[in-house]
Structure 1
Amino acid sequence: MALTYIPITSDWPCQVKAPGSFDWERSAARWLRELVPARYASYPALIKHPVLLARHAQIQVQHEIRVARTALQTARSELPSLGMPESVIEHTIKMYAAEVLQLQHIARSVRAVSQALVDNNLARA
């Protein structure tokens, strides 16, 4: 059965081969495993079914976004009581803001890879 090529968007991670190309699912799984805690990457169900791995990576990244947003939103009110100087607080706020943006980009990439994996599964079914 011929695989359908899916157009790659700017959200597609450079570490993942183009959908439909040789070994693209393996490159997708390898990239997705980097996004989840190491203990999850060895679970047989997640190894055997990249779609499940993609789902877990989506959940993981969404939680990381929430954590970074909470840290960003509370930094100015909580860090002074920890004895942090204003310069450190400002640097920390910039760090969390940048992290939220990076995680949002990763979330879009995970969604793109996940959709390609689902489409590929459905095409084989």
Structure 2
Amino acid sequence: MFDPERRARHGPPGWPQQVPPPGAEDWQPRAVAWLLDQAPPEYRGYPPVRHHPLLLVWLVAHHVDAQQEAVRRATGTARRDLSAHLPPETAPQVFAVLDAEQLRLRRLARSVDLLRQAMTGRRFVPRL
């Protein structure tokens, strides 16, 4: 059921729960903190990344894209690469891990993209 008050408190579907919706007080500093948690730890050491949220969201989007590509490649080569080293009964577990990671990364990519859109001025309007 559509709940406009929830949308106002949490942003559009896929918006990170830890980040207030765009326009709320302190949404952007909290978005930066959340993005830094999604990025490689080294990003915290680069002042331009910490001081320019749009640069950070752009870099994190590329990082997530690279992770998604790595999981796709791993899925495609898992049997060949691991069959000589793991018992056959672990194959379903391997693919379950890869499937779960693909889903996590898809959700993460959506959240990062929503933050990028908000940082570049997009306004999210609740729809019925």
Query: TM-score range, shorter-chain basis?
Result: 0.7 to 0.9
Partner AA of 2:70 in structure 1: V
1:123 aligned residue: none
**Where in structure 1 are there 5+ consecutive unaligned residues?**
121-125
Correspondence 1:21 to 2:24: yes
1:36 aligned residue: 39
Listed as ranges, the matches of 1:1-125 within 5 Å are 8-81=11-84, 83-119=85-121
Q: Aligned with 1:84: secondary structure?
A: coil
In structure 2, C-alpha distance between the alignment counterparts of 1:23 and 1:42, rounded to whole Å: 22
Structure 1 runs, 4 residues or longer, greater than 6 Å off? none
Partner AA of 1:31 in structure 2: W
Query: What TM-score do you get using the length of structure 1 for normalisation?
Result: 0.85
Q: Aligned with 2:14: secondary structure?
A: coil
Percentage of matched positions with identical amino acids: 32
**Where in structure 2 are there 5+ consecutive unaligned residues?**
1-7, 123-128
In structure 2, C-alpha distance between the alignment counterparts of 1:74 and 1:104, rounded to whole Å: 20
Q: Which stretch of structure 1 is more off in the superposition, 70-79 or 44-53?
A: 70-79
Instruction: Write the deviation string for residues 69-94 of structure 1: whole angstroms up to 9, x where unpaired.
Output: 1111111222112x201122220111
| RMSD (Å) for aligned C-alpha atoms | 1.6
Cα offset for 1:42?
2.1
Q: Aligned with 1:17: secondary structure?
A: coil
| Count of residue pairs the alignment pairs up | 114
Cα offset for 1:8?
2.3
Cα offset for 1:57?
0.5
